[in-house]
Amino acid sequence: MSYEAIGQGIKACLGNISSLKRIYAPEELPTAISERPCALILPGEIDYSQARADEDTLKYRVIILLGEVGKPDRFALIPPYTESIGDSSVPKAIQDDYTLSGAAAWARITKNKGAGYTEWGGANYTSTEFELEVTAPVI
- Average pLDDT value for the chain: 91
Q: How far is CA 77 from CA 19, 29, 31, 40, 123, in A?
A: 10, 23, 24, 17, 19
Q: For the chain, what are the domain ranges?
A: 3-137
Instruction: Give the amino acid at 132.
Output: L
**Average pLDDT of span 19-35:** 96
Whether residue 49 is predicted with pLDDT greater than 80 in this model: the reply is no
Closest Cα partner for 25 from 62, 59, 58? 62
Express each pLDDT in 29-43 by its tens digit: 999 999 999 999 999
> Which of the two residues, 45 and 83, has the higher pLDDT score?
83
* pLDDT top residue among 16 and 139: 16
Superfamily of domain 3-137: Phage minor tail protein U (3.30.70.1700)
